[in-house]
A and B are shown apart, each in its own frame.
Chain A
Amino acid sequence: MSKPRNGNTLTQEKDQRLEAELFGRRALVILALVVLALLILMGRMAYLQVLNHELFTTLSESNRVKLQPLPPSRGLIYDRNGVLLADNLPSYRLEITPEQVEDMDVILDELRRRIPISDQDIGRFRKLVKRTPAYNGVPLRFGLSDREVAALAVDLHRFPGVEIKADLTRYYPMGKHAAHIVGYVGRIDEKELQRIDPGEYAGSTHIGKIGVERSYEDVLRGRVGYQQVETNAQGRVLRVLEKIPPVPGKNLYLTIDTRLQAVAEQALEGHNGAVVALDPRNGEVLAMVSQPSYDPNPFVNGIDSLTYTALNTSPDRPLFNRALRGVYPPGSTVKPAIGLAGLELGVTDRNRSVFCPGLYRLPGQEHKFRDWKRGGHGRTNLDKAITESCDVYFYDLANNMGIDRLHDYLDQFSLGKPTGIDLLGEKPGLLPSPEWKRKAHKQPWYAGETLIAGIGQGYMLTTPLQLAQMTATLANRGKHFKPRLLYATQDQGTQQITPEAPRPLPDIAVKEIRNWDYVIAGMVNVVHGPTGTAKKIAVDLPYRIAGKTGTAQVFSLGQDEKYDATKLAKELQDHALFVAFAPAEAPRIAVAVIAENGGGGSATAAPIARKIMDAYLRELPPS
């Protein structure tokens, strides 16, 4: 077409003009080719989508190759002795494949005449139908009873597209016992749909929502399998072409002992509150009670809104895991740890004593910081201060130590930060510091606030789990572990059990090993000393307990608790706290007890702890 031109002989201007023209012609040619290519493409599309539309529709709808997900079976959950906590039971669900149904309303009416189907079920079903491709089965009702299955099976053949499908559903045989630990599974909701990989959950309807079920979801779930099948127009499988079997999830053995859990629940009976028992030697959670509890079973296949509202709005908050998420002022239970800090930092020593007249004043200030004992404790050294829970001694100690050192020392005991337990949703509590107050309240730290921090009041907030962890750390003399619920995992195929290793935390180093002994001796005197605040539980006690009572002044149950004026009187009562470990010489169990509005720690909380320790050390055969 275009003849070669001799560009060199032309001026730059002319060259540019000619080249631009040449380019323009070539651009038009190539544009024509582009349009031609796109027309060919459209022709191809028309060939596929118009001329051969029916053929491909048939191929798409009938005798098609389907990739079917094979959901894995979820791992079971046991306690440390093999008592079943979460089971899979066969169950039946009613499913409808919309594209095979001519008139959905008629079918639904027919089905409702045979078995009860709530309006809620129908509503959810219709919503799902809109979102799911028409050739996919959509569940209408879960958990059909045998009678319902029988009622439907008689003339199911009259309703093409309606199927009864068998699958496994989660069942928690212990009901509300240990519900806060095990948690529950529920149907996958929209928020979770955004979070999960849909491939991994293909064919699965449920997911761990809370508790161990959620925390160990990845272990329990297993891996989905697939099969390539050839199906006919009705979706019936003609033959399996290829199959990758699913890998079942692992069984979990938890560290808790169901028997001890039951003892702890009974011991706490009548109180809202929490109990946590740890094995200080390895961080295993032996029992974790949050009272009141709830039955997780209704949650599995969708709890009805009435029951849920009742649970959710109850002032006792049964759904709330107090052991993990309830934050309370620790009160005097932190005194042994603060005493240890005083010895270690050289702020006090064993012989140093303070005269306690029943109140304490900062130099140059009028404000009186009162001791719980009106007349005072008189001359008090650290041992007596722990034994009798003398506030004035600890006001003085905290004042001399200063808030920064106090904060940094208690921080080692996992206060004010998550303990790292293998259960999601743990609250960190709060270990106050001037830095924190500046950030959170935009206010300076006052000296008086250091004093009340010294007796575990004021801003300081801890969870029962943290208190148990602190106690275990004291019991094991600074060698401590992350609290742990997973005891072992078991492969469902080979049945092989893999025990879980303890998860050690960095040791708390002390300058003098005797400082542990001194503080622990004070704690033993709390129970066994003639003036100990928990001496009542020492009656007929065949082993030695080291403990510490505490009383937490009540402002609220948790940070998000609503103020309820009608219940003011009851709710204003103090929380009773008791932390302890035993046997004092070679501790095997560390316990923290909180009885909400239970009054004093010695009267209410200490006997609960003793019942648990008696059971664990004396009555229950070792596991």
Chain B
Amino acid sequence: MKIPLLGNIGAIDEGTSGLLRRIKLDPPLLLVLLVTSGFGLVILYSAGRQNLDLVLRQGMRLGLGFVLMVVLAQLPPQRLRGWTPWIYLAGTALLVAVDMVGYIGKGAQRWLDLGFIRFQPSEIMKVAVPMMMAWYFADKPLPPRWPHLIIGTVITLAPVVLILGQPDLGTALLVFCSGAFALFLGGLSWRIIFALIGAFAAIAPLFWTFVMHDYQRQRVLTFLDPETDPLGTGYHIIQSKIAIGSGGIYGKGWLHGSQGYLQFLPESSTDFIFAVFAEEFGLFGVGLLLTLYLAIICRSLYIAAQAQDTYSRLLGGSLALIFFVYAFVNTGMVSGLLPVVGVPLPLISYGGTSLVTIMASFGILMSIRAHRKRLSH
């Protein structure tokens, strides 16, 4: 089938170098990823107060991320599909383990320390949930029927509840979205969608009262009116709005942002790096970055749409949209449009945990692209 908008972008790759093809990489997607993450290092140099070490460390992580991507691109989707239930079950088991350790240790617990490596099992679920959803619906009739819908909901919500218990609102939100996207792309009927939105509006107050932790509630309240507490919880948002706003159309120039440099900005090289960026590069820079993100999302959706089996389509589409949620939630939060939840700016924020998941997602997308012919009947 032909989707005009996505087809145009897809046409770029006709006739490009065969080497990338041989290692199963999609040249247009690779190019945009490289440009964006390269740009990210430049921003990090300024946001990290010109600490070259920081940039080198992040560059190394990016390099490893790209290696992971290349490795995953070699893995045919059928193989991944066979492993899917096990990956999902293992991930869920690890979440339970972390919650138990956290319960015993009487504190927030997100990390699992295996001695030689520490990682967040919740991070795995950002990929494992869409995989499981795609696996489950791959041999079911689509659009989904009611019984299948219920099982799909359980597949998504079980890890979300576990992650909320850690408590990690940002990751829970992302995992929830990944499952919801799979359902939506699978053709969930609009009636149900609107009904769910209505139900959510009804349940939200209960959620507010019984599920959310104090600090999460505080964040939402602060978000609604940050000015009430300028040196406390509203500090983050006010400072980042000042940074963004004072950047203007053209920005203050690289390394010349005053807000980020003066450490007004909390987490200036991690979650709030977008504010440093918007201050130094202005509206033009923001437009450029969002265009890069849009290009990545478009290309990823196109790859998913071109896939010839349900598993690859649903998985690829969900992964593309999670990436969007990363970008939107982070920029929305930093600019005061959304509550403050701990979601990094994809490919730009300092840190390795979410980078691994993001690069793994693109590895899977590359694989879907590279193996599409063999999957056709």
Residues of A within 8 A of B (CB): 1-8, 12-13, 15-17, 19-24, 26-28, 30-31, 34-35, 37-38, 40-42, 44-46, 48-50, 52-53, 55-57, 59-61, 64-67, 131, 133-135, 193-194, 198, 228, 241-242
* Interface check B79, CB cutoff 8 A: no
| B265-294 interface with A by 8 A CB criterion | 278, 282-283, 286-287, 290, 293-294
- In the bound complex, do residue B321 and residue A30 qualify as a contact, i.e. CB atoms below 8 Å apart? yes
**What is the CA–CA distance of A552 and B22 in the complex, to the nearest angstrom?**
67
Known: A24-B305, A48-B244, A53-B246. A41 touches B256 (CB 8 A): no
* Interface check B263, CB cutoff 8 A: yes
- In the bound complex, do residue B310 and residue A16 qualify as a contact, i.e. CB atoms below 8 Å apart? yes
- In the bound complex, do residue A34 and residue B297 qualify as a contact, i.e. CB atoms below 8 Å apart? yes
- In the bound complex, do residue B278 and residue A49 qualify as a contact, i.e. CB atoms below 8 Å apart? yes
By beta carbon, the residue of chain A nearest B260 is A133
Task: Choose the segment among B121-129, B209-217, B324-332 that binds chain A (4+ C-beta atoms closer than 8 Å).
Answer: B324-332
- In the bound complex, do residue B185 and residue A27 qualify as a contact, i.e. CB atoms below 8 Å apart? yes
Residues of B within 8 A of A (CB): 1, 3, 5-6, 49-53, 140-143, 145, 181, 184-187, 189-190, 230-231, 241-249, 255-259, 261-264, 278, 282-283, 286-287, 290, 293-294, 297-298, 301, 304-305, 308-310, 313-314, 317, 321, 324, 328, 331-332, 335-337, 377
30 contacts between A and B (CB under 8 A): A7-B141, A15-B141, A16-B310, A17-B1, A20-B313, A23-B187, A24-B1, A24-B305, A26-B317, A31-B5, A37-B324, A41-B328, A41-B332, A42-B287, A42-B290, A45-B278, A48-B241, A49-B244, A49-B248, A49-B282, A50-B249, A53-B248, A59-B245, A60-B259, A61-B246, A64-B242, A133-B255, A133-B256, A133-B258, A133-B261
CB-CB nearest 4 A-B residue pairs: A56-B245, A7-B141, A60-B246, A48-B245
Choose among B242, B294, B313 the residue that contacts A23 (Cβ–Cβ < 8 A).
B313
B residues less than 8 Å from A194 (CB atoms): 51-53
By beta carbon, the residue of chain A nearest B308 is A16
- In the bound complex, do residue B256 and residue A5 qualify as a contact, i.e. CB atoms below 8 Å apart? no
Choose among B49, B293, B309, B317 the residue that contacts A27 (Cβ–Cβ < 8 A).
B317
B331 to chain A, nearest CB (A): 6
- In the bound complex, do residue B246 and residue A26 qualify as a contact, i.e. CB atoms below 8 Å apart? no
By beta carbon, the residue of chain B nearest A20 is B1
Choose among A15, A31, A60, A67 the residue that contacts B243 (Cβ–Cβ < 8 A).
A60
B residues less than 8 Å from A37 (CB atoms): 324, 328
A residues less than 8 Å from B246 (CB atoms): 53, 56-57, 59-61
- In the bound complex, do residue A42 and residue B286 qualify as a contact, i.e. CB atoms below 8 Å apart? yes
- In the bound complex, do residue A56 and residue B283 qualify as a contact, i.e. CB atoms below 8 Å apart? no
- In the bound complex, do residue A19 and residue B287 qualify as a contact, i.e. CB atoms below 8 Å apart? no
- For B142, B244, B246, B304, the residue with the greatest tally of chain A CB atoms inside 10 Å of its CB is B246
**What is the CA–CA distance of A8 and B282 in the complex, to the nearest angstrom?**
54
By beta carbon, the residue of chain A nearest B317 is A27
- In the bound complex, do residue A41 and residue B308 qualify as a contact, i.e. CB atoms below 8 Å apart? no
By beta carbon, the residue of chain A nearest B297 is A34
**What is the CA–CA distance of A61 and B259 in the complex, to the nearest angstrom?**
9
- In the bound complex, do residue B3 and residue A27 qualify as a contact, i.e. CB atoms below 8 Å apart? yes
B residues less than 8 Å from A23 (CB atoms): 185-187, 304-305, 313-314, 317
B residues less than 8 Å from A135 (CB atoms): 258
B residues less than 8 Å from A67 (CB atoms): 262-264
B337 to chain A, nearest CB (A): 5
- In the bound complex, do residue A31 and residue B297 qualify as a contact, i.e. CB atoms below 8 Å apart? yes
- In the bound complex, do residue A41 and residue B304 qualify as a contact, i.e. CB atoms below 8 Å apart? no
- In the bound complex, do residue B262 and residue A66 qualify as a contact, i.e. CB atoms below 8 Å apart? yes
**What is the CA–CA distance of A34 and B185 in the complex, to the nearest angstrom?**
14
B184 to chain A, nearest CB (A): 6
- In the bound complex, do residue B335 and residue A48 qualify as a contact, i.e. CB atoms below 8 Å apart? yes
A residues less than 8 Å from B335 (CB atoms): 41, 44-45, 48
By beta carbon, the residue of chain A nearest B256 is A133
B190 to chain A, nearest CB (A): 5
Known: A35-B294, A49-B249, A67-B264. A28 touches B5 (CB 8 A): yes
- In the bound complex, do residue B304 and residue A27 qualify as a contact, i.e. CB atoms below 8 Å apart? yes
**What is the CA–CA distance of A228 and B282 in the complex, to the nearest angstrom?**
27
B170 to chain A, nearest CB (A): 17
By beta carbon, the residue of chain A nearest B331 is A41
Choose among B1, B181, B245, B256 the residue that contacts A52 (Cβ–Cβ < 8 A).
B245
A residues less than 8 Å from B190 (CB atoms): 1-2
**What is the CA–CA distance of A26 and B190 in the complex, to the nearest angstrom?**
11
Choose among B261, B286, B301, B305 the residue that contacts A45 (Cβ–Cβ < 8 A).
B286
- In the bound complex, do residue B141 and residue A8 qualify as a contact, i.e. CB atoms below 8 Å apart? yes
- In the bound complex, do residue A30 and residue B185 qualify as a contact, i.e. CB atoms below 8 Å apart? yes
A100 to chain B, nearest CB (A): 14
Choose among B1, B143, B301 the residue that contacts A5 (Cβ–Cβ < 8 A).
B143
A residues less than 8 Å from B321 (CB atoms): 30, 34
A residues less than 8 Å from B264 (CB atoms): 64-67
By beta carbon, the residue of chain B nearest A131 is B255
B314 to chain A, nearest CB (A): 8
By beta carbon, the residue of chain B nearest A32 is B5
A residues less than 8 Å from B377 (CB atoms): 12-13, 16
- In the bound complex, do residue A44 and residue B337 qualify as a contact, i.e. CB atoms below 8 Å apart? yes
Known: A16-B308, A28-B5. A34 touches B294 (CB 8 A): yes
A residues less than 8 Å from B309 (CB atoms): 16
A residues less than 8 Å from B294 (CB atoms): 34-35, 38
Known: A48-B241, A198-B49. A19 touches B310 (CB 8 A): yes
Known: A38-B293, A42-B290, A56-B246. 20 other contacts (CB 8 A): A4-B145, A13-B377, A17-B1, A19-B187, A22-B143, A23-B187, A23-B304, A28-B3, A30-B317, A31-B5, A44-B332, A44-B337, A45-B335, A49-B247, A49-B249, A57-B245, A59-B245, A64-B242, A65-B231, A198-B50
